Structure 1
């Protein structure tokens, strides 16, 4: 009985040593290292930008990537705050895919010579950009977080056909109307509106614009009507 137990212990010990040797051999071979890195799910960010933030290279050990996964994710989200989620998957034994979900971009603001992204809830991402990205509106004159949250929330809820036509949104308050805003449209028209009613009234913009024979202003501040720019009669 004792000999049988001793034999079992030896077998277990040999198996353990064999596993350790195989594992060490694996770590020392090219098979243990990342071969190709792919990024999926990016929208406004570049794939290489995400890879650089993770600091994973084609010389990284796959086991380290997964052992340190949580740390890598935290560092990546800190480096790129517009990222909502990050996850990793392997395929073909050595290839690594980084899956990314970004917060939705609701516009840009320009200050100090750089553009900054505005995401859900009016949050401004502290990530400098020398040039605007995508087909997003640029907000001007909305200086407080409360104002940015309100106007970006309105933009988010506009009909798709209208939202993609918005170029710039200006805070154009006056003494008579502290809620007045102006909107430059990509089709060349301008809109004057009231921030309290613009979300509801902008649904009429496509119909009004289609009846205009000249580029001009669509006034939605009081009522809904249009008139051509001066000198464009």
Structure 2
């Protein structure tokens, strides 16, 4: 003989269970369960809306769902935006979200086929067309991938007061020196240098430029000297 046990639920417990289910259904069906505000922190070159669009989180998203899947949402955002190093998502005030972003630093832009492309760590060129460069970053011209990686890393290691004065790098090899480069400066001067030694020599640029009475060329290729531009006749 098989004895069946009957589970008895008290009337109060049943009322509580039904009430709890109603509250849960009402909560998820109400605006209180949805994300209210999204605050993006840490963006520099990207716009906050780009981060939000990549995360696919908006005011129709259920906050609890976002918090449960925050790691996969962060990974999805990083994958869509290669210039983003990391993303973290946290809630505040029970209905608001904070998306904290860490970007790879922009090292400049390269111009090709009528568009500009952002360069980040290790000379990586992002596949994102831009009509014009943004921010105070240099443009790189005529560099192959290997040399671009070298020169962009060099730029990243320069003092900030030198970085902000660089407008454009040119790959300008000659038969005598295949490592020759030229640099346009924002103050109107030009620099001629050797890519193998320019990092150590550019630290002298601010002092040399300050001593120049006229705008001109600072030659750092072999030694370190300057001369004014030749007057056009």
- Fold-level match, TM-score > 0.5? yes
SS in 2 for 1:136: coil
Change over 3 Å in CA distance of 1:131–1:190 after alignment to 2: same
- 1:164 equivalent in structure 2: 164
Structure 1 residue runs of 5 or longer lacking an equivalent are: 1-5
CA distance, structure 2, for counterparts of residue 111 and residue 70 of structure 1: 36
**What does 1:90-105 correspond to in 2, within 5 Å?**
90-105=91-106
User: Is the 2:138–2:168 Cα contact (8 Å) retained in structure 1?
Assistant: yes
Q: Which residue does 2:78 correspond to in 1?
A: 77
CA RMSD of aligned residues (A): 2.1
Partners of 2:105 and 2:12 lie apart in 1 by 57
Give the distance between the partners of 1:199 and 1:182, measured in 2 at CA: 13
CA distance in 2, matches of 1:77, 1:71: 10
Contact persistence 2:167–2:185 (CA under 8 A):
yes
Q: Give me the whole-angstrom Cα distance separating, in 1, the residues matched to 2:231 and 2:201.
A: 27
Does structure 2 conserve the Cα–Cα contact (< 8 Å) formed by 1:215 and 1:232?
Answer: no
- Alignment partners' CA distance in 2, 1:143 and 1:9: 78
Where do 5+ consecutive residues of structure 2 fail to align? 1-6
Rounded Cα–Cα distance in structure 1 between residues aligned with 2:139 and 2:16 = 65
User: Hey, what's the Cα distance between the residues in 2 that align with 1:10 and 1:223?
Assistant: 95
Provide the rounded CA distance (Å) in 1 between the counterparts of 2:203 and 2:22. 69
Q: Structure 1 residue 47: deviation in Å?
A: 0.7
Structure 1 SS opposite 2:52 = helix
Pairing of 1:1-233 with structure 2 (within 5 A): 18-144=19-145, 146-231=146-231
CA offsets 1:84-107 (integer angstroms, 9 cap, x no match): 111111112211111111001111
Any idea what the Cα deviations from partners look like across 1:169-201, whole Å, max 9, x if unmatched?
A: 000011100000000000000000000100000
Q: Distance in 2 between matches of 1:121 and 1:11?
A: 66
Whether the 8 Å CA contact 1:151–1:195 is kept in 2: the answer is yes
CA distance in 2, matches of 1:120, 1:12: 61
Match of 1:101, SS state, is strand
Question: Does the residue aligned with 1:105 lie in a helix, a strand or coil?
Answer: coil
For 1:11 and 1:103, how far apart are their aligned partners in 2?
Answer: 58
**CA displacement at 1:19 relative to structure 2:** 4.0
The 10-residue stretch of structure 1 (217-226 or 8-17) with the greater mean CA deviation from structure 2: 8-17
- Provide the rounded CA distance (Å) in 2 between the counterparts of 1:124 and 1:178: 23
Q: Secondary structure at the match of 2:117?
A: strand
Q: TM-score, normalised by structure 2?
A: 0.90
- Contact 1:214–1:232 (CA under 8 A) maintained in structure 2: no
